[in-house]
Amino acid sequence: KYIYFQNKKMHNDALSSLVDSGKAIIDLTKAEHYCLEKSETLLHLLFEKILELYKDAKNRHTLIDKDKSLTVLSIKMKPELENLKKLYLGYEAYCKGFLKKFAANDKMNAEEVIKSLPEEWGLKEQKDGKGDELLYQFIVLALNDRLAKENNIEIAKNVGEMYKLNLENTLIKLHRPYAIITPERKCKVCLKPLAGAKSFYVFPNGIVAHSHCVKEPTI
């Protein structure tokens, strides 16, 4: 199935076949590499599937453990109980390591991940006053990454606004009237040379005049 789905580029189905609960051995490393190679959007799906495997093994262990009151049944089921415990603890360890590893990956929906976490994983304080360090690390890293991205967006907006203002200022300067004052150029009003004048006005139509002449009605 895996090869078929992979060749057809049916990545979700290919990933599902890699972590099929019916398989005797599930290669989590191979599944993780597949996500990174094909599409990082599969990472969240992989986490959900491993979490399902954890819950399934934990539930089966709980059900058998409740029924072990009979001595004969207890002896017979002890190996299976031990195997299930190793299994769900292994999935738990993998999930927590997975969260720490990909906490800053934007393809991991931090909000959905936190909602899906089992209560027994220690988001709340334990009797010894400690919670689960890995889960806290995931939450901190995920939130820091989100805040960093929001800050970067805000910075980008501010830089864009500054660029826009600078561009507008440049355009205004470019559209300002200007004139080159040569010894031959004269005031349009008094017809006297402009060279040496302390101040003069340049009008949009190109007319240049002494400052004291612009009040004349003939300008």
Could you report the per-residue pLDDT of 104-139, keeping only the tens digit for each?
777 777 778 878 888 777 654 444 444 456 566 666
Percentage of the chain lying above the pLDDT 70 cut: 70
What's the pLDDT at 130? 47
Question: pLDDT: is 19 or 166 the higher one?
Answer: 19
What's the pLDDT at 22? 61
Q: For residue 35, what are its two tokens?
A: 């996500």
Average pLDDT taken over every residue of the chain:
76
Mean pLDDT of the region 186-197? 86
What's the pLDDT at 207? 83
Could you report the per-residue pLDDT of 62-96, keeping only the tens digit for each?
887 776 555 455 666 778 888 888 888 988 888 88
DSSP for 65-128, written as a single string: HHTTTSHHHHHHHHHHHHHHHHHHHHHHHHHHHHHHHTTT-TTS-HHHHHHHS-GGGSSS--TT
What's the pLDDT at 126? 44
The candidate with the shortest Cα–Cα distance to 110, out of 139, 137, 136, 132, is 139
Question: pLDDT: is 96 or 171 the higher one?
Answer: 96
The candidate with the shortest Cα–Cα distance to 40, out of 105, 109, 112, 94, is 105
